[in-house]
Chains A and B, each alone.
Chain A
Amino acid sequence: MMTIGSESRQRFELPARIVGGVAAVVAAASVLLSWSYDPAALDDMSFWGAPSPLQFHYLALGALAAILYLLPIALRPRNGSWTNWVAWNTAARFASFTLLGFPVIAVIAIALEAGGLINVDPGAWLALGAGVVATLAGVLLPTSPEPAMHRIKTHPVIQILAIAAGMGALLFAAVFALGLQDAGAFLLYAGFAAGLVLTLLRLGVFGWLAVCAAANKRVLVLAAFFVAFAFPFTQNGSEANMSIATQVLIFGATALGLNIVVGLVGLLDLGYIAFLGAGAFTSAVLSGSAFATINWTPPFWLTVLISGTVASLLGLLIGSPTLRVSGDYLAIVTLAFGEIFRITMNNLDGSDGPNVTNGSDGIPGIPDLNFFGFDFGATHVIFGVTIGRFANYFWLMLLILALIIVVFTNLNRSRIGRGWVAIREDELAAEAMGVNTFALKLLAFATGAFLAGVAGAVKAHHDVSVTPDQYVFLESAFLLAAVVLGGMGTVMGVLIGATILKLLPEKLRFFSDYRLLLFGLLLVFMMRFRPEGIIADERRQLEFHATDEELAEEVEEELVTYHAHYNPDPKGQK
């Protein structure tokens, strides 16, 4: 790539477009052929002339790539004209990468699942070849100027429709992905989704969507909750996916608690899972299970409050002596605390002191919740759709998550949140400004622990049993990874990070042996290429890229727009 100068790129442009376009069409057409001799591999790609659902996705991708290659021939994009609002070439390049990557994954998966490359049919080889050609053509195309779609003025109604369409697509994609039972098929779909997202990102569509979303934040949040609320209706009683989804919500709620400590205040906590465990054990002990060690069962709302309080008291207990140390020392102390918690729970079995947790057996047989006669353990039929046990817990957890998000965002915007971020940026300066740093750090510890404790209270009932060995250091590490991967300090990012880290191991059982290796690699790559996480906190982004020319220009540009908007008098601009 390095050897191709920009002049020869210009010369190659038209041939590259034609070759790339034809290759994309061929790739799309390859789905009419059989890809796999064995119908059991992936989602049955063994038919001739009748594509499987995944093959249809590939067909759509091929069509998109063909449009990206061929349409500019007719439009002749010029600088300054609307035809240059999108970055045709860069997007075509990424679509081509995906056109190549998809059959590569498919061929490997078929070979592994069906036993040998012999099972790969001509369709997959054709797609692979077409993918190679398309990629070569994509590399030869000159790089497009930066897309300008985010500058397009859009009518609010269209913006809201775009959000609705985006959310609908998200729901569809989630349902489709969770419906894939085959691990190879899931991975293939994940690759497709990642490729499509990157293509649309390069095309500039996301810039426009981000503007729409920023202009209609409330609509976006409501739409997101509506989609999450509607999710159980798409499962029609299938319990496996609902259980995974509920676990994702519990994990996400806990990660949001950790996000206060790590993302907002900048304190590294490596024993956070203990607070989830404290909530779960409290809830289990008060659940009325035959194995519970306290013979008192308060109503669940009270249990939730008690669980949260117990967790936050633990937070205060660990916080008040340790928050005086900072940085790495705090990380070590919290790491030790997490282990102390687990070992203590293991030893509170009555042999040497009181029996609280039954030791390593934990507390099994936790009964299902029952709100005013609504039994969480029973299956209900709503609007003709079967809603199972896990869906009930999913909705409960969704409600709690909504409350947690409200608490988090309000705290973040408040005076307290400002103090937290000031501590993160420069503790000494914050102290000099009159921020009571010790009290605020302690408050962060207690608040975060409370949220985790609340999530733990639901987790106990969802899991039916609580044992100490669920709360190992690895879980703390995963929580931290979710926060860092998703984007420290943000709500959306952390929830996305939690989803990725919880969902992938569940759906990709075959790599569960290698999951630590793969997540480690993922984190290393994230730190190299996008240290601010998937979703960047506005303030955080500057921390990582403050020296980037690009960002400086961006800020400059924003400022000009800002002035043009609020200061129509041109003399006011400087």
Chain B
Amino acid sequence: MLEVKDMVVAYGRVNAVKGITFEVGAGQIVTMLGTNGAGKSTTLRAISGLLKLVSGEIWFEGERLDGVAAHRVVQRGIAQSPEGRRLFPKMSVEDNLRLGAYARKDPSGVKKDMDNVYDLFPVLGERRQQPAGLFSGGEQQMLAIGRAMMSRPKLLMLDEPSMGLSPIMTQTIMRTIRELRDEGVTILLVEQNAQAALSLADKGYVLEVGQIMFSDSGRNLLGDDRVKRAYLGAD
């Protein structure tokens, strides 16, 4: 569904992503592991059209995606829940969700999807008029995922959804991600929490300083010694 070939992305003269190639198949959960500065978020931003590629190609559903403006990428069916959630803190839950559906022009469908988000996260439904900034970290993450879902994406990219959340909240979020996949949404999940991410991923890539070091199925990576050493704290 999504293919990235030899992608190089730079901030000024510094290459943050140094030629990576990976693939996300339809209906899969693909996870990308890596420490801070490995280039995970840069990769997502480049796919979203927020950053320009230095070289390389991005293909989505058989069409070129690199060079497409950010708002058109959303229209093509790719949504991103950015790093640090980046909600609109002064806007209500409802306005945040409406902005998630900005690229859509079917009000009745938007209304229906909004109700779906409220069903998925009842906490949001109860406080839909409250400003997003007053919510707890976990609730904000739910809203960020809900907001990304509002564009009815084929591919949902989540940037560290477990960041700053309690283990229980992380479990809830991960369960939701699996539910979304079961509904047919393809998911690209960027994480530092390897345990949580790999246990639901069909496939995993490990990124280090802008390069993919190795990849395998989620289950195999969970048992991989290198991953264990770097991310799971085993020696």
Q: Would A559 and B71 count as touching, CB distance under 8 A?
A: no
Given A418-B95, A419-B102 in contact, is the A432-B82 Cβ separation under 8 Å? Answer: yes
Least distance between A364 CB and chain B CB atoms (Å): 49
Q: Would A418 and B98 count as touching, CB distance under 8 A?
A: yes
Q: Which residues of B contact A546 (CB under 8 A)?
A: 89-90, 131, 133-134
Given A425-B88, A546-B89 in contact, is the A555-B131 Cβ separation under 8 Å? Answer: yes
Q: Which residues of B contact A196 (CB under 8 A)?
A: none
Bound-complex Cα distance A430 to B99 (A) = 8
Stretch touching chain B among A5-13, A119-127, A399-407, A433-441:
A433-441
CB neighbors of A among B51-110 (8 A): 69-71, 73-75, 80, 82, 86-91, 95, 98-100, 102-103
Q: Which residues of B contact A151 (CB under 8 A)?
A: none
Q: Which residues of A contact B131 (CB under 8 A)?
A: 542, 546, 555
Q: Would A425 and B90 count as touching, CB distance under 8 A?
A: yes
Least distance between B147 CB and chain A CB atoms (Å): 7
Bound-complex Cα distance A291 to B147 (A) = 59
Give which listed residue, B86, B98, B126, B133, contacts A432 with CB less than 8 A. Answer: B86
| B211 interfacial contact with A, CB 8 Å | no
Q: Would A559 and B102 count as touching, CB distance under 8 A?
A: no
| B219 interfacial contact with A, CB 8 Å | no
| A431 interfacial contact with B, CB 8 Å | yes
Least distance between A435 CB and chain B CB atoms (Å): 5
Of all chain B residues, the one with the shortest Cβ separation from A544 is B90
| B151 interfacial contact with A, CB 8 Å | yes
Bound-complex Cα distance A472 to B69 (A) = 39
| B21 interfacial contact with A, CB 8 Å | no
Of all chain B residues, the one with the shortest Cβ separation from A574 is B126
Q: Which residues of A contact B134 (CB under 8 A)?
A: 546, 552, 555
Q: Would B100 and A433 count as touching, CB distance under 8 A?
A: yes
Least distance between A410 CB and chain B CB atoms (Å): 17
Of all chain B residues, the one with the shortest Cβ separation from A419 is B102
Q: Would A559 and B50 count as touching, CB distance under 8 A?
A: no
Q: Which residues of A contact B102 (CB under 8 A)?
A: 415, 418-419, 422, 433-435
CB neighbors of B among A510-561 (8 A): 539-540, 542-543, 546, 552, 555, 558-559
**Interface residue count for B (Cβ, 8 Å)?**
31
Q: Would B89 and A425 count as touching, CB distance under 8 A?
A: yes
| B48 interfacial contact with A, CB 8 Å | yes
CB neighbors of B among A491-509 (8 A): none
Q: Which residues of A contact B71 (CB under 8 A)?
A: 431, 434-437
Bound-complex Cα distance A543 to B88 (A) = 11
| A226 interfacial contact with B, CB 8 Å | no
Of all chain B residues, the one with the shortest Cβ separation from A421 is B91
Least distance between B70 CB and chain A CB atoms (Å): 5
Q: Which of A419, A421, A436 has the most CB of B within 10 A?
A: A436
Query: In terms of DSSP, what is the predominant structure of the interface of chain A?
Result: helix
Binary CB contact string for chain B from 117 to 137 against chain A (1 if under 8 A, 0 otherwise) = 000000000110111011000
Least distance between B45 CB and chain A CB atoms (Å): 8
| A194 interfacial contact with B, CB 8 Å | no
Q: Would A432 and B48 count as touching, CB distance under 8 A?
A: yes
Q: Would B88 and A422 count as touching, CB distance under 8 A?
A: yes
| A71 interfacial contact with B, CB 8 Å | no
Given A552-B134, A555-B134 in contact, is the A431-B70 Cβ separation under 8 Å? Answer: yes
Of all chain A residues, the one with the shortest Cβ separation from B98 is A418
Q: Which of A432, A539, A540, A546 has the most CB of B within 10 A?
A: A432
CB neighbors of B among A556-570 (8 A): 558-559, 562
Bound-complex Cα distance A352 to B130 (A) = 61
Bound-complex Cα distance A435 to B75 (A) = 10
Q: Which residues of A contact B90 (CB under 8 A)?
A: 425, 539-540, 542-543, 546
Q: Which residues of B contact A552 (CB under 8 A)?
A: 134
Binary CB contact string for chain A from 430 to 469 against chain B (1 if under 8 A, 0 otherwise) = 1111111100000000000000000000000000000000
| A340 interfacial contact with B, CB 8 Å | no
Bound-complex Cα distance A437 to B102 (A) = 12
Q: Which residues of A contact B82 (CB under 8 A)?
A: 428-429, 432
Given A418-B95, A555-B131, A562-B129 in contact, is the A434-B70 Cβ separation under 8 Å? Answer: yes
Q: Would B133 and A433 count as touching, CB distance under 8 A?
A: no
Q: Which residues of A contact B74 (CB under 8 A)?
A: 432-434
Q: Would B129 and A559 count as touching, CB distance under 8 A?
A: yes
Give which listed residue, A428, A542, A559, A574, contacts B86 with CB less than 8 A. Answer: A428
Q: Would B99 and A433 count as touching, CB distance under 8 A?
A: yes
Bound-complex Cα distance A415 to B104 (A) = 11
Binary CB contact string for chain A from 43 to 61 against chain B (1 if under 8 A, 0 otherwise) = 0000000000000000000
Bound-complex Cα distance A431 to B50 (A) = 8
Bound-complex Cα distance A430 to B100 (A) = 9
Bound-complex Cα distance A430 to B87 (A) = 9
Given A434-B70, A435-B99 in contact, is the A555-B130 Cβ separation under 8 Å? Answer: yes
Least distance between A424 CB and chain B CB atoms (Å): 9
Least distance between B83 CB and chain A CB atoms (Å): 10
Given A418-B98, A426-B88, A428-B82 in contact, is the A434-B129 Cβ separation under 8 Å? Answer: no
Q: Which residues of B contact A419 (CB under 8 A)?
A: 99, 102
Least distance between A427 CB and chain B CB atoms (Å): 10
Binary CB contact string for chain A from 344 to 369 against chain B (1 if under 8 A, 0 otherwise) = 00000000000000000000000000
Q: Which residues of A contact B70 (CB under 8 A)?
A: 431-432, 434
Least distance between A191 CB and chain B CB atoms (Å): 35
Q: Which residues of B contact A426 (CB under 8 A)?
A: 86, 88
Bound-complex Cα distance A421 to B50 (A) = 19
The contact sample of 24 A-B pairs, CB cut-off 8 A, is A415-B102, A418-B98, A418-B102, A421-B88, A422-B102, A425-B89, A425-B90, A425-B91, A429-B86, A430-B99, A432-B80, A432-B82, A433-B100, A433-B102, A433-B103, A433-B151, A435-B99, A539-B90, A542-B89, A542-B90, A546-B89, A546-B133, A555-B134, A562-B129
B interface vs A, CB < 8 Å? Answer: 48, 50, 69-71, 73-75, 80, 82, 86-91, 95, 98-100, 102-103, 126-127, 129-131, 133-134, 147, 151
* 7 A-B pairs with the lowest CB-CB distances in the bound complex, closest first: A434-B74, A434-B103, A429-B86, A436-B71, A542-B90, A425-B88, A431-B70
Apart from A546-B131, A555-B131: 13 A-B pairs, beta carbons within 8 A: A418-B98, A419-B99, A421-B91, A422-B102, A425-B89, A426-B86, A429-B88, A432-B86, A433-B103, A433-B147, A434-B74, A540-B90, A542-B131
